[in-house]
Amino acid sequence: MNFQAIRSIYIFEMARFFRTLMQSFLSPVLSTALYFVVFGAAIGSRMQDVEGVSYAAFIVPGLIMLSVMTQATANASFGIYFPKFIGTIYELLSAPVSFLEITIGYVGAAATKALFIGVVILGTSFLFVDLNIEHPIAMLAFLVLTCLSFSLLGFIIGIWAGNFEQLQLIPLLIITPLVFLGGSFYSVSMLPPIWQTITMFNPVVYLISGFRWSFFGTADVPIGISLVAITVFTSLCLAVIAWIFRTGWRIRQ
């Protein structure tokens, strides 16, 4: 394992994050703060408790997941797409660096950025709501796994994308709607039976449900199923990345 190569990629990507701190960090934090003001204070004060939890507190896990998933995907996809765009990807591929080391460097940096943003948003939420985390270790584990899995997905998107428009296509048209429809702002049990069944086909439901369980001890689906879902999703992403580097699809073309 070439740890020096991993370290170089990781440091380079993190340096880019801090160079664009306003766009990479302040923008998602401010957007989430607006969600707290609008949904938590304005709307939440007029709603009943959801599963014994105030609505303002109930939406906190969903808001964190919304930011973490979108930021992990965006950072990882841009991180690998930009070297393709300017042609430096060939220098990286010709270096004595394996696909695993390249993936660890880019995905590790993207996951770190998303985790950092998630932790800051979590800290910000305490300014707006009275929040109690019942399972802090499980909460951190779910947060880290989500950052890693969606960074892997973003890495795949960055390799697949042929231009900047395609780079934004999947996060904008697929991931964000899935998060909004995955129980970020409501409990699945609040839906009519037919929509509850349809919602169960949304993979994001299992991630948000497990993450919310770590906060309040309640979930829309059993915690074991949530763990299986995120494990399968992560394994699938790893398998796709391994196939991409083995075949050179969208990299050497």
pLDDT at 105 (0 to 100): 95
DSSP code, position 50: B
Instruction: Enter the tokens of residue 195.
Output: 């929509």
d(CA 231, CA 136): 20
pLDDT at 44 (0 to 100): 63
pLDDT at 40 (0 to 100): 67
Q: Tell me the average pLDDT across 176-180.
A: 88
**Is pLDDT at 252 greater than 80 in this prediction?**
no
Whole-angstrom CA distances from 159 to 51, 144, 236 are 42, 23, 16
Percentage of the chain exceeding pLDDT 70 = 96
**Is pLDDT at 191 greater than 60 in this prediction?**
yes
Q: With contact defined as beta carbons under 8 Å apart, do 49 and 55 qualify? A: yes
Which carries the bigger pLDDT value, residue 248 or residue 115?
Answer: 115
Q: Across all residues in the chain, what is the average pLDDT? A: 88
pTM equals: 0.91
Q: Which residues pair with 50 in a beta bridge?
A: 53
**Is pLDDT at 245 greater than 80 in this prediction?**
yes
Domain boundary assignment for the chain: 3-247
Convert the pLDDT of each residue in 104-149 to its tens digit: 999 999 999 999 999 988 988 888 888 889 999 999 999 999 999 9
pLDDT at 247 (0 to 100): 87
Q: From 203, 208, 193, select the one nearest 236 (Cα to Cα).
A: 203
Q: Which residues lie below 8 Å from residue 218, measured CB to CB, with a gap of 6+?
A: 51, 52, 53, 212
pLDDT band at 72 (very low <50, low <70, confident <90, very high): very high
Q: Tell me the average pLDDT across 3-12.
A: 92
pLDDT at 42 (0 to 100): 65
Convert the pLDDT of each residue in 24-39 to its tens digit: 677 777 887 787 777 7
Q: From 99, 177, 113, select the one nearest 148 (Cα to Cα).
A: 113
pLDDT at 206 (0 to 100): 92
Which carries the bigger pLDDT value, residue 115 or residue 184?
Answer: 115
d(CA 73, CA 111): 9
Residue 163: phi, psi to the nearest 5? -155, 175
Q: DSSP labels for 67-124?
A: HHHHHHHHHHHHHHHHHHHHTTHHHHHHSS--HHHHHHHHHHHHHHHHHHHHHHHHHH
Angle at 147 between CA 214 and CA 231, to 5 degrees: 70
Q: C-alpha 221: how far from its chain's center? A: 20
Q: From 146, 151, 144, select the one nearest 109 (Cα to Cα).
A: 151
